[in-house]
Amino acid sequence: MQITVRLFAVLRDAAGVDCFTERFEGDIVTVEAFRARLAEREGLGPHMPRVALAVNEEYVIDPGTVLRDGDTVALIPPISGGGVTPRFLVTSEVLDAHAIREAVMTPASGACVVFEGVVRDHHEGRAVERLEYEAYEGMALRQLEVVADEVTEEYRDREVHAIAIHHRVGPLVVGETSLVVAVSAAHRRDAFEAALRAVDRVKETVPVWKREWGPDGSHWQDGVVPSPSTHSTPPSA
């Protein structure tokens, strides 16, 4: 059987490729066996303990999950968004906070919180000149929806009405917005709390990485090990 493997950010740099094919004898290969095989591959081994796996753009948690011939497996390293505005978007275009606000407002909404993540000129004591965001775009878009569903479910008794999330990719300079999260609710406290929760979950689950550029060159920012939701990923449109 044949499995396509996709690599991003630090893993792509370590392996020297962004995609390769792994072949196995027999008809049954589990995620656990697949992970063990890749741990032996030059460049990837040291990273594998902190890597999550996504099969056909969905996180896989159970190591006993069986892979099938033709599957695409993405290795997800620690992760550091005209017409009606979609509630979920991953784009290289400038983000419009006003448009995303309008996408979540309802007649019953007494509060709307709009969070903007902005590129700053320093990080952990280092000067930052610009950032470059990379995403596993198809999966990232679906995970934005999962985050919104998860947070909405957590606040189902708190009258949270709608959540929208846009994430930017590509090069950004200091002062530009990389992430916009908007939450509408009946009451301000619930809107604030749900917005904070949504931002945290984006940082924990959505496969987006940051390369930081400064006076001494560039490097990938450290991230967190992905923490997938137990919610099902919405089907593709």
Q: pLDDT-based confidence at 83, cuts 50/70/90?
A: low
Is the model's pLDDT at 231 over the cut of 90? Answer: no
Q: Write the class of the CATH domain 88-220.
A: alpha beta
Rounded mean pLDDT, 133-156: 95
Rounded mean pLDDT, 145-158: 94
Are 2-76 and 88-220 the same fold in CATH?
no
Q: Give the DSSP letter of residue 79.
A: B
Residue 23 or 234, more confident: 23
pLDDT at 122: 93
| CA–CA separation, 211 and 213 (whole Å) | 7
**Beta bridge partners of residue 45, listed in sequence order:** none
Rounded mean pLDDT, 128-146: 95
| CA–CA separation, 23 and 98 (whole Å) | 49
| CA–CA separation, 114 and 121 (whole Å) | 22
pTM given for the model: 0.77
> For 71, phi and psi rounded to 5 degrees?
-65, 155
Residue 230 or 134, more confident: 134
3-class secondary-structure state, position 72: strand
Q: Give the DSSP letter of residue 35.
A: H
Report the percent of the chain where pLDDT is more than 90.
76
Domains of the chain by residue range: 2-76, 88-220
Is the model's pLDDT at 202 over the cut of 90? Answer: yes
Task: Sort 213 into a burial class: Cβ within 10 Å, 0-12 / 13-18 / 19+.
Answer: middle
Rounded mean pLDDT, 140-151: 96
Fold exhibited by the domain 2-76: Ubiquitin-like (UB roll) (3.10.20)
Which residues, at least 6 apart from 125, have a Cβ–Cβ distance to it below 8 Å?
none
